[in-house]
A and B are shown apart, each in its own frame.
Chain A
């Protein structure tokens, strides 16, 4: 064994013991026929995969991730752009703005959103006093509310990779594309976006994975009426003590997330090849 591998051994052992082993136990539990856990069967998986309701929860959760990721990208790209291309004095301010959400706990940020979106929250009182609405709008416990809150909570995960990717682009390329007759938009779409694709994909992957598994924000802003996969697992595991089904849901969810992540990976490799070509 080389010296480098030996140095990584403690971490590998840690992962083996506290990540791989529990994952195998999870798989074992998911293959139990019932809660007594005495006989093995795949019935938990067939129960999930042939149940339209369970599948709709999965689809709903995966789509929530798409919405949050899209919103993060739309709002995050200009922010990263402003950081990279803006004046030097603005950079420290912007990096604080980007990092600030990371410095407070997710729970605190989520509670802040509850206060903002509530019936007597900032948004509703502003709308009421401007006379734009007569009765408070329902913002909390709606999917829109969950998407906005999650987008804010996960924003740094999108912006930081974007900043890295954008700052690596040689600015002479802008001038080159302008000199060759491309307008600002054409230059942006044909030069900047393709070159920043690795950053976009990394940001999307991180945001997506974080958004669909964000148990706290989903349940606090979404309330007890909206069911996403993390809450579904929690409900089965703790409220119903049905560990085999909860384990099976977890495995299905893990597989679904891995599938999405590998799509991003493939896209990432393609974009790299494209950028280097």
Chain B
């Protein structure tokens, strides 16, 4: 049976790096450092989309979404750069998440 997913729109304090893969790897590393290996598999985080230079969408399992929000609050440094993450909105589908955000703008 497919696990239910949750998508979170995240704003960053600094500009995101061009290399999506490198950023995804660095962010995953920081999440593991914050919540530990045992709980990271439960979150199953995956960088889904970089929206613009300061926003991206990250996917997690429904049961691990709270841990992911907490981890994003605690991470203040990625790839030796000071960076804070602010969780703006969460939704069950990426379409709903992005459409409500663009509608507000």
A binds B: no
